[in-house]
A and B are shown apart, each in its own frame.
Chain A
Amino acid sequence: MSKEMDSCVKPAAGPLVKEVPQEGPQVQKEVKMVTARVGKPAPDFEASAHIAGEGFKNVRLSDYRGKWVVLCFYPGDFTFV
């Protein structure tokens, strides 16, 4: 059948943020700030993905460096609009 093998849930990293020098307990909260700004580098991330015909794969934004990318967020599968 298909070669779409998948390991059991291997977590994708989510936002990939450079390490900031630790100053104290406040640092944990910094990672969750909005860092995407127009005119600034897009925050890199890794996400698990479904690709039709290829199955499941972890994908990083930086994989696409050198190409134009349109990143489309939407509220949910099986919803109306």
Chain B
Amino acid sequence: MKELGVEVLSVSTDSRFTHKIWHEEELSKMVEGGIPFPMLSDQGGRIGTVYGVYEEAAGVDIRGRFIIDPDGVIMAMEVLTPEVGRNVAELIRQVKAYQHFKATGEVTPSGWQPGKPTLKPGPALVGKVWKEWKPEMAF
């Protein structure tokens, strides 16, 4: 993520003390060099509440992930219940797609990967997308 110039912030309702110990006891052994980003504490779920991910009954923030652009606007969100983990490859793909769009104005069709065709949105493209892109290109 650092190579893409992206700052990562993780958040749970655990206290900063718990984060410290979890990092020392487990994470630093799973990840070489330890965790390079801030681990935030959302005790009481106040932040999760405004982001729509705080589950009051359990008192935890569920698995929400938000991509925020340099102007502070939310570009994308994905929310999962706790049982299923995220797909980091998809996160990286989305970040690259948004960065590409911001840099060039070209939009990325379904299944886009870096190097695959993009589209230049505009009146000339209306009804002509079939000339530039086929559904098979999504896979």
Contact = CB atoms under 8 A, between A and B. Distances in A.
A5 interface: no
A72 B60 contact: no
A70 B8 contact: yes
Interface string A50-66: 11110011010110111
Given A70-B65, A71-B9, A36 B74 contact: yes
Interface string A31-58: 0111111111111110111111100110
A17 B51 CA distance: 13
A68 B4 contact: yes
Given A43-B51, A49-B41, A50-B23, A81 B12 contact: no
Given A12-B41, A48-B41, A62-B72, A43 B50 contact: yes
B106 interface: no
Contacts of A48: 15-16, 40-41
Contact of A72 (B10, B16, B19, B74): B10
B50 A35 contact: yes
A67 B9 contact: no
Given A35-B50, A36-B77, A42 B9 contact: no
Given A68-B4, A70-B95, A74-B61, A52 B70 contact: no
Given A43-B50, A74-B10, 16 more contacts: A33-B50, A36-B51, A36-B74, A42-B72, A44-B72, A47-B40, A50-B41, A57-B38, A59-B38, A64-B7, A70-B66, A72-B64, A73-B61, A75-B62, A76-B60, A77-B22
Interface in B73-101: 73-77, 82-86, 91, 95, 98-99
Please classify how large the interface on chain B is, using the bins under 10, 10 to 19, 20 to 34, 35 or more: 35 or more
Contacts of B49: 15, 32, 34
A70 B96 CA distance: 12
Residue among B9, B11, B42, B60 facing the most chain A CB atoms (10 A cut-off): B9
B35 interface: yes
Contacts of B64: 71-73
A71 B66 contact: yes
